[in-house]
Amino acid sequence: MEKTLQELAAFLHGTLENDDPGLRITGVNGLVEAGPTEISFAIPPYVEFCHKSRAGAMILAPGDRKLDRPVIRVENPKQAFAELLELFRPQEEVARVISPLAYVAEDAKVGANVAIQAFAVVESGAEIGDGTVIFSHAYIGRHVKVGKDCVIYPNATVRESCVIGNRDILQSGCVIGGDGFGFVTNNGKHNKVQQTGNVVLGDDVEIGCNSCIDRATVGSTVVGNGTKLDNLVHLGHNDVVGENNLFVAMVGIPGSVTIGNNNTFGGQAATVGHITIGSNNTMAGRCGVISDVGDNQVLAGFPHMSHVEWLRQQSKLRKLNELMKTVKALQKEIAELKQNK
């Protein structure tokens, strides 16, 4: 595929500077990897280095630096880059057929334009929406409802009675609706509590590889529209997660936590159970949240505190060795003064 700069500017609804009519863009790549016939993008803090890239053209925001090469100015360069990736590197089409090597229960309802590949399983009472793709070895349990235009990758599991929204993506190895971690301890023995609820995913949700969302003990574990889970994330039973949240790898949320909208959990962040977290918060990597959190906060550390306070503490900790040397010197001086009395 080749595109002129004017064609790309029109595609991105951007403004073209320093047009080179003879340049044909053959692909899109990163700042370091891009070559003379490719286009790349830059956002702060990389804008100041983008002139060193070999890319034939660049995508920048309106207020960014001028360059000696073609530039397409758009409001969101990263979004524009994502759109060009889809243009130049479209995913391969999957044949919309049900493989004779798949198991689809006789009473399962399968919509139009659906692909179910070899060795996938769709159990009794399940419903698969139009345009959904189910790859090999995926498992769709009894009475599961899968919405339209979903992608369920190999070895993903959706357990019985769970609900998957529209345009959801389930990456390989994820488990939706595994039993919640519920036990009653009597006389030192842990007795399992039956987990009778389900999991409900909203629309445009993505679940990363080997992430797990546990079914509710009763009722539903809920993940709201637009929320994205990275790999190796755990959401416990009866969690209620709002819209457009981000969970980076290895986040752990135990049971009965309520989370609002537009929160970001950094890698390895975790919470205690049975708390409420508001909206528009950022939990830095390895942050440990031990109590309710309101809105619009940036937290770090364990136990959680404001990120500013955590930075102050870390700054002081870095001076601890020098402080100990000072204390030992003072102790020695005091001891000598006592001896000379």
Note whether 244 and 297 are same-domain residues. Answer: yes
Residue 272 belongs to some domain of the structure = yes
The residues assigned a catalytic role are: 237
Supply the pTM of this predicted model: 0.91
Q: Return all residues near 208 (Cβ < 8 A) that are at least 6 apart.
A: 171, 174, 228, 229, 230, 231, 232, 233, 249
Number of structural domains the chain divides into:
3
d(CA 274, CA 296): 20
Residue 175 belongs to some domain of the structure = yes
Note whether 297 and 161 are same-domain residues. Answer: yes
Residue 231 belongs to some domain of the structure = yes
- What is the CATH classification number for the domain harbouring 282? 2.160.10.10
Contact by Cβ (8 Å): 29, 63: no
Walk along the chain (341 residues) and give the pLDDT tens digit of each residue. Answer: 899 999 999 999 999 999 999 999 999 999 999 999 999 999 999 999 999 999 999 999 999 999 999 999 999 999 999 999 999 999 889 999 999 999 999 999 999 999 999 999 999 999 999 999 999 999 999 999 999 999 999 999 999 999 999 999 999 999 999 999 999 999 999 999 999 999 999 999 999 999 999 999 999 999 999 999 999 999 999 999 999 999 999 999 999 999 999 999 999 999 999 999 999 999 999 999 999 999 999 999 999 999 999 999 999 999 999 999 999 999 999 998 888 87
Note whether 168 and 284 are same-domain residues. Answer: yes
